Each structure stands twice: as C-alpha cells, then as structure tokens.
Amino acid sequence: MREIAETAFGRNTLAAGLVCHAAALVAGLLSASGGTAFFQIVYPASWGLLTAASFAQLRHRGIRPFATWRFYLIAAAAVFPVLGPLIALALLYSAPAGGSTTGDLTGWPAALLRLRANILLLFVLLLALFLLFAVLSRKDDPYFRRQNAADVALPGGVKCKINRLPLEAEDRLLGSAKKYRKKTVSSAVGFRRCGLAGNAQISTGLETM
C-alpha cells in the first residue's frame, strides 16, 4: 500500500506545511492588523515546508529532485492557496518508486487520510503560531495602545516613557478637574455679579448726593 510520505521526516514536514498553509489563509481573512503580517510570514514558511518534504521524499524513492520535472511542478503548485497543496500531494503520491517508471493516483484519497504526524510536534507548532499571531496583533489591544500613547518624543529624537495611571484613576482625575472648573466658573460669575451690583450702588449714591 503506497503512502504519500514513507519517512517520519516527510510526514511531519508535510503535516506542518499543511497546518501553516491553513493558518496563514485563516489569518489573511481576519480584519485584525496582525493578520497581514502573519500571512506574510507563515505562508512562505508553509511553501518551504511542503517543498522540503517533497524534496526528501523524492530522494527517498531514488529520484533526483533537481533532475525531474515533478519536483519543479510540486514547488510551483504549492504556491497557490487551497488547491496548490492538494496538487502537490497528488504529484508526490504519483511519483514512481522502487525502480518503476510510472505512477498513478489509485488510492490517493485514502493515502491522504492516512497521513499522520507527531501529535506533540503539531501541538508545539500550533502554540507557536498562536503566540506569533498574538505578538503581531498586540497593536490592537487597548493596553498596548495606552502604552504606546505614553511615549513622548523629546527634542533631538529622544523618547521618554511616562508612567500612566489606570483608567479608573484617570476618570476620577478628569471628573475632579471638570467639577473644579465648574466651581471656578461659577465663582467668577458670582464675583462679576457682585462687582456690577456694587458699581450700581455707588452710582446711585453719587446721584443722590
């Protein structure tokens, strides 16, 4: 029974490439600012993993990768999203092995379902992808936005970090400032009214004299 990848390296690398390919496509569809950067990093990595696994598998079957058109077609197909990796796996499965000169796609869907990889390796890969996406998307987080806003540029290109208060403390300070401003305005209006009244009384007294 033929397999897509006979070696552990080939199976693990192919599975990692497929996972990275799917993660890059999902991140590219997200509206988060880190999705584009994540796609630009992970998508080329998925292509490299699929190409490296195909190279190793062709050598394992006694085929010189750089001397056959199949390797270049696999590398070109792996660039395209969704259908590209499936075409690359089909070409790799149909590569002749054991000295045979021809290959076919008989049993390819079943071989695709039998493609297994190391569970621990896949878990570590998923964790690394999640952390990478979290780091690239940190600009959208309110905490990091407040931290970036606290950077003050000084003359000469020197940046100074200002320790900001929590949101609750800032709200209390803003509320106190607004109340103090209202009291100040009210006091000023009161003094002005008192001054006008005093001027009126003085004018009245002068007229009576």
pLDDT digits (tens, 9 = 90+) for 166-178: 545 555 655 565 5
| pTM greater than 0.75 (yes/no) | no
Mean pLDDT by 10 residues, the chain (209 residues): 87 95 91 82 96 94 90 95 94 77 75 89 95 83 54 49 51 56 51 48 48
What's the rounded Cα separation, in Å, for the pair 198 and 190? 12
Confidence (pLDDT) at 79: 95
pLDDT digits (tens, 9 = 90+) for 122-145: 999 999 999 999 898 876 555 555
pLDDT digits (tens, 9 = 90+) for 80-94: 999 999 999 999 998
Calculate Rg over the CA atoms of the chain. 35
Q: Which residue has the tokens 């621990």?
A: 120
Residues 8 and 57 sit within 8 Å (Cβ to Cβ) = no
Confidence (pLDDT) at 38: 92
Q: How confident is the prediction for the chain on average, in pLDDT?
A: 76
Q: Which residue has the tokens 């699929």?
A: 50
What's the rounded Cα separation, in Å, for the pair 143 and 104? 56
Nearest 5°: the CA angle 40, 41, 44 is 85
Confidence (pLDDT) at 152: 46
